[in-house]
Amino acid sequence: MSLAAERHPVVTDRAPRPLAGAPYSQAIAARGLVFCSGQVPLDPESQQLVDGGIAEQTERVLENLKGVLEAAGSTMGDIVKTTVFLTDLANDFGPMNDVYARYFPSQPPARSTFEVSKLPAGARVEIECIAVGE
């Protein structure tokens, strides 16, 4: 069986659509894993950046990831690796980490965190993940 036969896109209304018709999927499920594209804090219904600071943005990002994972038959508890991108590591890491910790109260996934100069839609945080799927 070819890899293409074992690979399929994940699509849900519980997370924002790709920005401006960009050529990426919300996630790809392949060989028992779910590879989620980075989520920024856009409300899935309005496609607009959520109001508030880094805590509110982080919560929206994690809810978006949760929606994508559930559409793939996975859960937040199935995440094995996250990558977090912040535009202000010095000021936003602590508040982001506080929200993040609520979503992963025990056995949190492996994680890398980077500061970047800019994120799509003016976001302050973006998170991508890899999870175990069905």
Check which CATH number belongs to the domain holding 95 and give it.
3.30.1330.40
Start-to-end CA distance of the chain, whole Å, equals 18
**Domain total in the chain:** 1
Q: Average pLDDT, stretch 51-72?
A: 98
With 70 as the cut, is the pLDDT of residue 23 above it? yes
With 60 as the cut, is the pLDDT of residue 3 above it? no
**C-alpha pair distances (Å), 23 with each of 26, 27, 61, 120:** 10, 12, 20, 14
- Residue 28, Ramachandran bin (φ over 0: left; ψ between -120 and 50: alpha; else beta): beta
- Residue 4, Ramachandran bin (φ over 0: left; ψ between -120 and 50: alpha; else beta): alpha
**CA distance linking residue 1 with residue 127, whole number of Å:** 32
Q: Average pLDDT, stretch 54-80?
A: 98
Q: Binning pLDDT at 50, 70 and 90, where does residue 53 land?
A: very high
What angle (nearest 5°) sits at the alpha carbon of residue 100, between those of residues 94 and 101?
90
Higher pLDDT, 2 or 30: 30
Q: Average pLDDT, stretch 95-99?
A: 98
Q: Please report the pLDDT score of residue 22 as a whole number.
A: 87
Higher pLDDT, 3 or 39: 39
Domain range for residue 112? 3-132
Q: Please report the pLDDT score of residue 62 as a whole number.
A: 98
CB-CB contact of 127 with 15 (8 Å): no
Please name every residue paired with 28 in a beta bridge, in sequence order, or none if there are none: 9, 35
Under DSSP, the state recorded for 75 is: -
Q: Average pLDDT, stretch 40-46?
A: 97
Question: Six-digit token pair at 65?
Answer: 């990831």
With 80 as the cut, is the pLDDT of residue 27 above it? yes
